[in-house]
Amino acid sequence: MAAVLPPLPAALSPSRLQDFHACPRRYQYAAVERRPQPATFATVKGRVVHHVLEHLVREEPAARTSSAAAALVPAAEDAVVDEGVRADLGFDDDLRARLRREVDEAVAGYLAMEDPRDVRAEGVELRLSAAVDGAPILGILDRLDRDADGRLTIVDYKTGSVPSRTWDRYTFANTELYAALCQAALGELPTTIRLLYVSQRAEATRPVTEVVIRARAAAASHAWHAIGEYHERGDFPARPSASTCRFCAYRADCLAQGIAVPPPPTARATTL
């Protein structure tokens, strides 16, 4: 007899679509059952940096200074590091000092990459929802800029390391779906995507093409249809693999269900 799962979410976000493509069971746990995911240092750092940059760009252009950015950091940390985060991370003075240091470095990296006083943002933390090729998509864009010629650019802040360009298919996947969402919700297709790896002071840029956007929309539509079928069946299949399971928050849940989850990687032995 099929299990009765909680209702499906009303919409599919690019990050949850990424979960589904990696492993449908991860999507079930995260989006349908909403099992909690413990905070990690990387996600907390990313949220603090995004908070600072969001509020910096919301200021009037002349007020977007380095000192203004520095003044935003304590409030951003207070907004993100709540009791749950402290418990998950074992947050102590040493970890707070590390967080503050790495956030300061990321914010300084952003300021070295562009002058925020020149930013022409059409939207900041812009929430959009629309049907994309029949799939209800919900996305929150870090920034949507409009240049002097009237063209739109999606800007996405990244606080991790820069991936190899051989992985561009995955690197730009979420933001290309954002572009399809802009077309559906705003009636306008952005022309460029900019990924700002602020901790590394590096940028990856890609033009938006109709053929890629159609492919992203079709993939989202296909995934949403499959999600509906799995939900009706009461079970989303697990697809364990070394890469998929490596950083998954639900390893213990899958092990408890008897799923053969690959063990986490271990340090390679050194031979003399």
The whole-number pLDDT of residue 2 equals 64
pLDDT at 266: 61
Rounded Cα distance, 156 and 154, in Å: 7
Looking at residue 68, its pLDDT comes to 98
Longest dimension (CA), the chain: 63
Specify the residue for token string 């059409």: 122
Helix %, strand %, coil % of the chain (to 5): 50, 15, 30
Q: What is the pTM of this model?
A: 0.92
Mean pLDDT (whole number) for 234-244: 93
Place of tokens 């908070």: 51
Q: What is the reported pLDDT for 167? A: 67
Average the pLDDT over 242-250 and give the result: 91
pLDDT for the residue numbered 264: 76
Using pLDDT thresholds of 50, 70 and 90, give the confidence band for residue 272.
very low
pLDDT at 268: 44
Q: Tens digit of pLDDT for each residue in 90-149?
A: 999 999 999 999 999 999 999 999 999 999 999 999 999 999 999 999 999 999 999 999
Q: Does residue 1 carry a pLDDT above 70?
A: no
Residues shown for the chain: 272
Higher pLDDT among residues 74 and 168, named by residue: 74
Dihedral-angle region of residue 193 (phi above 0 means left; psi in -120 to 50 means alpha; beta otherwise): beta
If you ran DSSP here, which 8-state letter would residue 59 be given? S
Residue 239 has pLDDT above 80, yes or no: yes
Q: How far apart are CA 96 and CA 103, in angstroms?
A: 10
Q: What is the pLDDT of residue 267?
A: 43
- Rounded to the nearest integer, the mean pLDDT of the chain is 94
Whole-number Å distance between alpha carbons of 224 and 20? 9
Looking at the chain, the whole-number percentage of residues with pLDDT higher than 70 is 95
Q: Residue 174 CA to chain centroid, in angstroms?
A: 8
Reported as a pLDDT band with limits 50, 70 and 90, residue 196 is: very high
How many CB atoms are closer than 10 A to CB 78? 11
